[in-house]
Structure 1
Amino acid sequence: MNTLPADLLLAAGAGPVGAVTDFLREWPNMWPDLWLSTLDTVYMVVWATLVSLLVGLPLGVLLVTTDKGGLTPAPAVRAVLGAIVNIGRSLPFIVLMVAVLSLTRFLVGTTLGPTAAIVPLSIGAIPFFARLVETALREVDRGVIEAAHAMGTRRATIVGKVMLPEALPGLIASLVMTVVTLISYSAMAGAIGGGGLGDLAIREGYQRFNDHYLWATVILLVVIVQAVQSLGDLLVRRLSRR
């Protein structure tokens, strides 16, 4: 049976080699949109991470310190905080985005764009990060805490000078996990016009049946996640050796 020469197949765009060639040929044309969408994704993730850190870290500390056997036991407070965190974690992110549309519009004046997406991203990440902080703090040696307490150290000082420094590698790992989760959340935010790579994948890739955009956004998201995870792993290793 006669077969077409490989160069004719390549020219016709047949097979995986042709698909890759077409993708690479289209990359320069896609790059301006990909670059802007990447910047939007980074913008959303950075701000949502900062909000999650500022709110989730104290919340995680309170979950530990108000628990039975904590520095300031308060079962009622612990129960309320735990319920709030559990409710926040139980909602699928796509449902959460729709549920807080009114709050988003009230806070930023719109429900579209990267700035609007920061609101549901932060709300979704805060309880997630708080639980990770709680887990990291519970791994701190109780003997170190009890020794500091026996020396008459103030509770706030124990938290700031003993618990948090001792749990720092775990806290960094928790923050990295939160950032990776926010990257995936930011991609889902594109479903309701949140901008970023997810929005580009849906708008140009899915709705216009352009596989090149779909694959390009997947590649960029993988690269971003790998870079964040590698940097986080490096920091955790260095802090663990101290």
Structure 2
Amino acid sequence: MFHDISLEVIRQACFESLYMISISLLFALILGIPLGVLLAETRKGGVLKNRFLYTVLQTIVNIVRSIPFIILLVAILPLTRIIVGTSIGTTAAIVPLVLYIVPFMARLVEQSILEVDPIIIECAKTLGANRFEIIFFFLLAEVKPAIVLGVTNALIGLINASSMAGTIGGGGIGDLAITHGYQRFNTPLIFVTVIILVIIVNVIQFIGNTIYYKIKH
């Protein structure tokens, strides 16, 4: 099928993509949300105001986000090899995916927090809340719907990035499209991979929107 490509190979590629995306998203939540809070609240006027820390974090995030993902994949190959023991394969692709998605997620969280009405923070201070209570029980509670949309956008971004990981043998749908589709002139297989990606993105967007409206209301 599809020039000697079986359905089992396609299923394996989908599994590899989901594996890369899920692990990377986990790190995005663990690292990206706290980083976004720090970016928002260590700036001037924030509850954790720290000019030095804000400048350092801002600079690092800007540098990483300014590098196109395809270049980031190649640039950190030595670091990837140190962390996971290899620079090729599905697990190796997770390292650049994490570096790509954490700053992205942080910016989304930062933007959401900066849009919170300052009156909410003033009310929290009036109630006697300390800095960490303001962050956890007021700011993050207020931006939960926005974070849901942020996670949805991060997932879609990860799908796009994980597809590019195929250029360095990262596995997944992107690798399938490149090695078995493009390089072997297997046009039907390329169309199949595109359809799979479109379906996955639309399902994720639908689920994200549904959760967003439920939380918001």
With normalisation by structure 2, the TM-score equals 0.97
| Cα offset, 1:30, TM superposition | 3.4
Partner of 1:15: none
| Cα offset, 1:151, TM superposition | 2.2
Partner of 1:46: 22
Within the candidate set 149, 156, 168, 2:144 is matched to: 168
Partner of 1:216: 192
Partner of 2:64: 88
Does 2:55 align with 1:55? no
Aligned AA for 1:188? M
Aligned mates of 1:103, 1:220 — CA distance in 2: 31
Aligned AA for 2:76? V
Aligned mates of 1:28, 1:167 — CA distance in 2: 49
Partner of 2:43: 67
Aligned AA for 1:219? I
Deviation sequence 1:180-204 (CA, Å, 0-9, x none): 0000000000000000000000001
Partner of 1:207: 183
What SS is found at the alignment partner of 1:237? helix
Aligned mates of 2:116, 2:210 — CA distance in 1: 21
Partner of 1:118: 94
Does 2:203 align with 1:227? yes
With normalisation by structure 1, the TM-score equals 0.87
Give yes or no for contact 2:2–2:189 (8 Å, CA) kept in 1. Answer: no
| Cα offset, 1:158, TM superposition | 1.0
Q: Pick 1 or 2: higher relative contact order, CA cutoff 8 A, min separation 6.
A: 2
Aligned mates of 1:51, 1:74 — CA distance in 2: 25
Partner of 2:81: 105
Aligned AA for 1:70? G
Give yes or no for contact 1:121–1:182 (8 Å, CA) kept in 2. Answer: yes
Shift in CA distance, 154/28, structure 1 to aligned 2, threshold 3 Å: farther
- Map 1:128-167 → 2, pairs under 5 A: 128-167=104-143
What SS is found at the alignment partner of 1:208? coil
Partner of 1:198: 174
How many aligned residue pairs are there?
A: 217
Aligned mates of 2:33, 2:2 — CA distance in 1: 44
| Cα offset, 1:26, TM superposition | 4.5
Task: Give the aligned CA root-mean-square deviation in angstroms.
Answer: 1.4
Runs of 4+ in 1 over 6 A off after TM superposition: none
Aligned mates of 1:29, 1:179 — CA distance in 2: 27
| Cα offset, 1:92, TM superposition | 0.2
Give yes or no for contact 2:2–2:186 (8 Å, CA) kept in 1. Answer: no
| Cα offset, 1:145, TM superposition | 1.0
List alignment gaps of at least 5 residues for structure 2: none
Give yes or no for contact 1:30–1:213 (8 Å, CA) kept in 2. Answer: no
Shift in CA distance, 112/100, structure 1 to aligned 2, threshold 3 Å: same
Aligned mates of 1:216, 1:27 — CA distance in 2: 13
Aligned mates of 1:167, 1:140 — CA distance in 2: 7
